[in-house]
Every structure is written in C-alpha cells, then in structure tokens.
C-alpha cells in the first residue's frame, strides 16, 4: 500500500489507469483519505505478479503525484526448490 499525494487532476480514475498501464496484469485500487484545495492524500494498492516499483514511481511522477511512504507490503516467494 502506497501513501500518495496527488493533485485533483488527473482524477482518481485517470490516475489509476495511468498506473495500471505500467504492467500488463496490474490491478490498482485507490482510496481517498483526505482532500484539500489542491491535492488529495490517497492510499493506493497495486496487485500483480511482478511489480516494477521504479516504473510505478515514474508513472506517479509523470502525473504530478508523489509517494510519501510505503505503508504495507506483502510478498510471496513462488520459486520452486529442487
């Protein structure tokens, strides 16, 4: 879960679409936590097999957002031992 500060534009749907396009199987959920006159504090969850964090950060920056913190991480090791 990422704590992201974003401007009002793009709206939440457009913002999520930008993030979902980063990976072919990305599922993006956004919850608005707080709003002021110019920005929204959001919690964003991205689910996928392989998440490219640097590409996600670049996409967020490209729409004038910023990652404030990583608040929750879940990782599963799916490699098979021989």
Domain ranges, ordered by start, for the chain:
2-70
CA distance 4 to 11: 13
Query: Which fold, 2-70?
Result: Alpha-Beta Plaits (3.30.70)
Q: What is the pLDDT of residue 82?
A: 55
Residue 76 has a pLDDT of: 84
For position 78, what pLDDT does the model report?
77
Of 47, 9, 11, 10, which Cα lies nearest the Cα of 28? 47
Q: How many CB atoms lie within 10 A of CB 10?
A: 15
For residue 47, the SS3 value is strand
Whether 70 and 63 have beta carbons less than 8 Å apart is answered as: no
Nearest to 63 by CA among 25, 23, 11: 11
* pLDDT of 58: 98
pLDDT of residue 26: 97
* Predicted confidence pLDDT, tens digits, the chain (82 residues): 999 999 999 999 999 999 999 999 999 999 999 999 999 999 999 999 999 999 999 999 999 999 999 999 988 887 775 5
């Amino acid at each position: 879960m990422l704590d992201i500060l974003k401007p009002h534009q793009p709206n939440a749907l457009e913002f999520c679409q930008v993030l979902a396009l980063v990976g072919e199987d990305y599922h993006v959920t956004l919850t608005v936590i707080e709003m002021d006159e110019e920005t929204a504090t959001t919690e964003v969850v991205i689910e996928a097999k392989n998440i490219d964090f640097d590409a996600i950060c670049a996409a967020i920056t490209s729409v004038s957002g910023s990652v404030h913190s990583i608040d929750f991480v879940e990782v599963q090791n799916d490699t098979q031992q021989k």
